[in-house]
Each structure stands twice: as C-alpha cells, then as structure tokens.
Amino acid sequence: MARFNPNDTVLVTVDDGHVIPGTYQSGSDTVAIVKLARSNESVQEVKMSQLVRYAPLSDEARDQWCRDEAPKIVEWIQQAMLSLFPNYKYHIAYEPQDPSIVMEGVNLFPKTVQKRTIVEVREFPAWELTAWKTYPSTMWQPEETVDHPVSEHRSSFDAANALVNFVLFDHVNRWFESEGEAIVLREDQENGL
C-alpha cells in the first residue's frame, strides 16, 4: 500500500543526487508513478525509496506568522536595550502590516526554511538577519553596498537576540577600529611621519 495520496507534492531524488519536485500519481509498495516538474510534465516510474512528501509553506502563511511574531521581537529588543544600555539612543523601524523589522541598518526579514525528516520535507517560517555591507571600490568597480545575509532563526526570541548582538557588536568593532586608526595616526605624528 502506498503511503502517498494522488496529487501529493513529492520530491524525487534521482541517481545523480539531484532532487526534482513532482506530483505523485499512483504506485505500489515498491514503485511510484510521478509527474515530474521542470521536465515538460513527464510521467516517470521511480522507486518508492526515492520519494519524500513535500509540505510547502505559502508566502502568505510565512508572512502572517512573522507579522504575529514581530511585536514580541520589538518588545524583547526594547527590554534588552533598556536593561543593558538605558542611555543608548536607537530607532526600530516596524510597521504592523509589514513583516520586517529594521534597527540601525540591520534587518530581520521573513524567510522559509526546510527541514527534512525520513518521510517528508517540511517548510517552516523563520527570520533572516541581514546587514548592509560596503565593498570598497577598486580600479574597475565602484564602491558597492549590498544587503548581506548574516544568520537564520526559527525562534523569534533568538532573532531578537541576534539583532541586538549584531548591532552592539558592530558598534564595538567600529569604536575599536576608529581608536586603532587614531592611535596609529598619533604614533605617526610623534615619530614625524
């Protein structure tokens, strides 16, 4: 007896290790008939051991989860900043209808992550922490600033923690970089360079 129902979304692992999405049509205990996506909707017979059920998450469901979680993240950030750095001035950009949070150029955006089990691949909502990173200009390329992925977090609490850590770590790094440059400049002036 097959463990799949007709029209279930599945992932087929082919001999070279690639995974191809498809739609289960029918089968037995050992083989399945699957309509493969991205191959002109061809129908192929594959071993049941090559199949796993695929449970996709819609963008709407992911964004709704993030909209529901965002107020908690903002509250945790505010509590952490007030408790740890009561005089630190910061700004959090957050709109209830928008499922993203921005604090000092560091962003939390909705992301979909996959988790594979023995019988299926499921998708879950998560947060992606990104930060603006500037690449210096070269002889052939102008200076470029891009939104660079930093980390992913399934837990909203972990996402809030990562955002605060990244912002404060960035400030600490900039302070030490600035102080280091000032020390080198003073030493150069003292040595007449």
Say what the pTM is. 0.70
pLDDT-based confidence at 1, cuts 50/70/90? Answer: very low
Comparing 34 with 104, the larger pLDDT belongs to 104
Task: Output 28 or 119, whichever has higher pLDDT.
Answer: 28
Distance between CA atoms of 86 and 81, rounded to whole angstroms?
6
Is 118 a residue whose pLDDT tops 80?
A: no
Boundaries of every domain in the chain: 9-54, 59-189
**Is residue 126 predicted with pLDDT exceeding 90?**
yes
Distance (Å, whole) CA 74 – CA 1 = 50
pLDDT tens digits, one per residue of 36-74: 776 666 777 777 777 777 878 889 999 999 999 999 999
H-state helical runs in 26-155: 59-84
CATH of domain 9-54: 2.30.30
